[in-house]
Amino acid sequence: MDNFIRVISKFALEGLNAQALQDAALAAKQTLESGSGAGNDFLGWLHLPSSIDEQQLQAIEKSAEQLRSECEYVITIGIGGSYLGAKAVIEALNDHFAAYKSGNGPKVLFAGNNIGEDYLYDLMDLVRGHKFGIIVISKSGTTTEPAIAFRLFKEMLEKQEGKEFAQRNIIAVTDARRGALRGLATQEGYATYVIPDDVGGRFSVLTPVGLLPIAVAGFDIRALVAGAVEMEKDGDEQVLNYAIARNALYQNGKKIEILVNFVPRLHFLAEWWKQLYGESEGKDHKGIFPASVDFTTDLHSMGQWIQDGERTIFETVVSVGDQQHEVIIPSDDEDLDGLNYIAGKNVDYVNKMAELGTRLAHIDGGVPNLLITVPALTERYLGQLIYFFEKGCGVSGYMLGVNPFNQPGVEAYKKNMFALLEKPGHEEATAAIKARLKQ
Ligand code: PA5
């Protein structure tokens, strides 16, 4: 088995002159690597894998061990880029039913990624009376969703286990100097990790933002980083293939890219990918809309649209080679369900045939198909995949002609929300929004 992820564009580019984009892709890659493009103060992620040193890894492992030794639950608080990377990797590696099984080490749960009152209530209810720790992650240190969750769980932990336990088992990941969380962590004496200034949230999974929760969940962050290093060193051909193909398709009217998986483990990788590409490319009224589906589940809901709906989509299938476990379909003497024709086969064989059959059907239906092959869902290949998508995003964004590293649009809802909440400093906006709503 090939030990590298690969991009196969055989069924994506029929009738297109993708070669015409070769020069543009090489120029975009050069812009990225030379740091001469827009947003070049946010390129710290580019050489992040190869620059993580032993000392950093040891420190993260030690903090993870502290939380693992004292806590039944670790609540990871963060949103967007301060949430999705860790969630994606943990879900991709974990037992699907880890939440219901007793295992070694704490259960890693997430908060601050929504403002759901009942969600917070239920989570507080779950950890009440149990020893828990907190990893609070916010680069700006001022984001509302994690700030609310942290205030709640910090107070709860201090009341429940005392200040000393809380101080030992709260770890903050934030900016080196600025922001409310930095000030609070300094005052309370929490262990802290820094999100480098030049690494944006959605590119930060290989910093302590992702590595700490992943290590707490019991996974091998060294292998994850090693996989990313492999892609950093040898992945350019795959990166260029992907960037060229998706830009060629976009220019040919395919405005929506659907990231497809056939294994439930990858659901949150798609969520991470959607943030990475959506926030990076969706600006100046341009950009491929990143969507995702979980097959075969969603074939029974979205399959009709994809097969027959408006032809503005293409699919990128993340195809996983080996499963971790084997489950054989048993033979049945009566065969009332008619399944004996696949008796003796393992379940993944059926899934692979569903995958191939679906790809061919969608191609026949006018949906170009890119394939990304991943040998197995291990730390190493996830590391490769993460770096592949990050660099692909940088190259692709420059090909599109946008700054892939800012996100001015995400402030719009916050301004309105603060005005509506009558946050000090927003008086003028509050008056304006009230007048608008009265009209
Ligand atoms: O990618 C981004 O910059 C955003 O999604 C942020 O990660 C998200 O808004 C959370 O920001 P912060 O880490 O500052 O709380």
Condensed to tens digits (0 to 9), the pLDDT of residues 295-317 reads: 999 999 999 999 999 999 999 99
Q: Give the span between the Cα atoms of 329 and 327, in whole angstroms.
A: 7
Say yes or no: CB of residue 143 within 6 Å of ligand 1: yes
pLDDT for residue 1: 47
pLDDT for residue 356: 97
In this predicted model, what pLDDT tens digit does every residue of 147-181 receive, in sequence order? Answer: 999 999 999 999 999 999 999 999 999 999 988 99
Residue whose CA lies nearest to ligand 1 atom number 9: 80
What does the mean pLDDT of the chain come to?
96
103: helix, strand or coil: coil
Could you tell me the CA-to-CA distances from 323 to 261, 265, 348, 353 in Å, in that order?
13, 11, 7, 15
**Amino acid at site 21:** L
The ligand 1 atom nearest the CA atom of 83: 7
Residue whose CA lies nearest to ligand 1 atom number 5: 80
Confidence of residue 439 (pLDDT cuts 50, 70, 90): confident
Say yes or no: CB of residue 202 within 6 Å of ligand 1: yes
Q: Percentage of residues in the chain with pLDDT exceeding 90? A: 93
Q: What angle do CA 109, 202, 221 make, to 5 degrees?
A: 60
CA–centroid distance, residue 104 to ligand 1 (Å):
31
pLDDT for residue 60: 98
- For residue 296, say if its preceding peptide bond is cis, omega within 30 degrees of 0: yes
153: helix, strand or coil: helix
In this predicted model, what pLDDT tens digit does every residue of 16-64 receive, in sequence order? Answer: 888 889 999 999 999 999 999 999 999 999 999 999 999 999 999 999 9
In this predicted model, what pLDDT tens digit does every residue of 99-132 receive, in sequence order? Answer: 899 887 999 999 999 999 999 999 999 999 999 9
CA–centroid distance, residue 83 to ligand 1 (Å):
9
Say yes or no: CB of residue 208 within 6 Å of ligand 1: no
pLDDT for residue 14: 87
Say yes or no: CB of residue 373 within 6 Å of ligand 1: no
The ligand 1 atom nearest the CA atom of 279: 1
Q: Which two tokens stand for residue 422?
A: 């009558």
Residue 411 pLDDT > 90, yes or no? no
pLDDT for residue 254: 97
Q: What is the rounded average pLDDT of the residues 363-376?
A: 97
pLDDT for residue 104: 78
Q: What is the rounded average pLDDT of the residues 72-79?
A: 98
Q: Which two tokens stand for residue 345?
A: 């086969």
Q: Give the span between the Cα atoms of 257 and 400, in whole angstroms.
A: 15
Q: Give the span between the Cα atoms of 95 and 265, in whole angstroms.
A: 9
The active-site residue, picked from 271, 279, 281, 355, is: 279
CA–centroid distance, residue 197 to ligand 1 (Å):
13
Say yes or no: CB of residue 139 within 6 Å of ligand 1: yes
Residue 404 pLDDT > 50, yes or no? yes
CA–centroid distance, residue 331 to ligand 1 (Å):
51
